[in-house]
């Protein structure tokens, strides 16, 4: 009898051990120490590989010029742009590491989603297109294409593309420039441009830009030999 009880006890112990092992969480695997793994903190907001979406407030960062991305990381870290989450992520990071992050996202060559529908009157869209392509010389407003490129997909090394961005993000950035919440290295060319834009201008620009599909395969273009319409400190890096 004692041997039987001993065997029963052993079986019960083994069964309990097996059940515990099945319920216990698996030991964590080794997390790869790669830049892509570390930058999951970025893609949590900016979307897989930095591609974002065509709606909402968060911008696409994939495929933007490395110089532009680097400038913005520096601007957040150094207080020229205000965003508590971005500041918390970047506050302790070095210039070299920020340059590495910018280079990573600049190399992401990913398709753009179609633009979200924009319900704007034809006259508004026409006004937006005119400002993008020709500006308004009578008011000292340069054409957007003079800096952002003929396709509006950006100019290397540091001018961003303005197509493929959500309407709310574009509107928010114009508002931030207008109120001084967003700044760039002096001379701050965008601050000078936005200062001359009225509410109707901004609404028309945002409506037209948000309605445009990026051209297939379009990327930032090489720098032009022509001078920029305005001196711009953000091209210095």
CATH code, 72: 1.10.760.10
Residue 206 pLDDT > 90, yes or no?
Answer: yes
**Tokens matching residue 71:** 């400038």
Query: 92 or 226: which carries more pLDDT confidence?
Result: 92
Residue 122 domain flag: yes
Distances in Å between the alpha carbon of 191 and those of 7, 14, 173, 179? 83, 73, 11, 9
Total structural domains in the chain? 1
Give dist(CA 183, CA 65) in Å, integer: 18
Residue 2 domain flag: no
Per cent of the chain over pLDDT 90 is 73
Among left, alpha and beta (phi > 0; psi -120 to 50; other), residue 13 is alpha
Residue 78 domain flag: yes
Using the CB atoms, write b or e for 20-50: b if 16+ within 10 Å. Answer: eeeeeeeeeeeeeeeeeeebeebbebbbebb
Q: What sections of 118-213 are H helices per DSSP?
A: 122-133, 145-148, 167-179, 189-195, 199-211
Give dist(CA 128, CA 229) in Å, integer: 18
Residue 4 pLDDT > 50, yes or no?
Answer: no
Res 13: pLDDT: 36
Query: 179 or 8: which carries more pLDDT confidence?
Result: 179
Residue 21 domain flag: no
Res 15: pLDDT: 40
Please, which residues have CB within 8 angstroms of residue 93's CB and are 6 or more apart in sequence?
73, 77, 101
Residue 22 domain flag: no
Please, which residues have CB within 8 angstroms of residue 209's CB and are 6 or more apart in sequence?
128, 132, 152, 162, 163, 165, 170
Assess contact for 149 and 161: CB atoms under 8 A: yes
Residue 4 domain flag: no
List the single range of 30-44, 86-100, 134-148 with lowest mean pLDDT.
30-44
Residue 11 domain flag: no
Query: 195 or 29: which carries more pLDDT confidence?
Result: 195
pLDDT (mean) for 172-190? 94
Give dist(CA 101, CA 184) in Å, integer: 19
Residue-averaged pLDDT of the chain? 87
Per cent of the chain over pLDDT 70 is 87
pLDDT (mean) for 95-117? 94
Each residue of 167-177: pLDDT tens digit? Answer: 999 999 999 99
Residue 107 pLDDT > 90, yes or no?
Answer: yes
Assess contact for 193 and 234: CB atoms under 8 A: no
Residue 227 domain flag: yes
Give dist(CA 28, CA 109) in Å, integer: 32
Domain interval for residue 144: 35-109+116-235
Distances in Å between the alpha carbon of 45 and those of 30, 40, 42, 61, 82? 24, 9, 6, 11, 16
Residue 3 pLDDT > 70, yes or no?
Answer: no
Res 28: pLDDT: 62
Res 236: pLDDT: 60
pLDDT (mean) for 23-33? 64
């Amino acid at each position: 009898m004692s041997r039987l009880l001993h065997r029963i006890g052993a079986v019960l112990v083994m069964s309990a051990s097996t059940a515990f092992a099945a319920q216990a969480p698996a030991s964590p695997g080794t997390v790869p120490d790669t830049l892509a793994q570390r930058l999951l903190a970025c893609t949590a907001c900016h979307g897989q590989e930095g591609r974002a979406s065509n709606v909402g407030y968060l911008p696409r960062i994939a495929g933007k010029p490395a110089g532009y991305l680097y400038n913005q990381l520096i601007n957040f870290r150094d207080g020229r742009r205000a965003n508590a989450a971005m500041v918390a992520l970047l506050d302790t990071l070095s210039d070299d590491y920020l340059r590495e992050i910018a280079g990573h996202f600049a190399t992401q060559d990913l398709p753009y989603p179609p633009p979200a529908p924009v319900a704007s009157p034809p006259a508004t869209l026409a006004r937006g297109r005119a400002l993008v392509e020709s500006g308004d010389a009578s008011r000292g407003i340069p054409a957007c294409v003079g800096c952002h490129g003929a396709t509006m997909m950006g100019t290397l090394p540091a001018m961003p593309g303005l197509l493929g961005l959500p309407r709310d993000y574009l509107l928010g950035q114009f508002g931030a420039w207008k109120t001084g919440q967003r700044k760039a290295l002096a001379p701050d060319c965008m601050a000078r441009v936005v200062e001359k834009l009225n509410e109707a201008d901004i609404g028309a620009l945002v409506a037209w830009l948000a309605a445009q599909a990026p051209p297939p395969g379009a990327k930032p273009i090489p720098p032009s030999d022509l001078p920029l319409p305005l001196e711009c400190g953000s091209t210095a890096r």
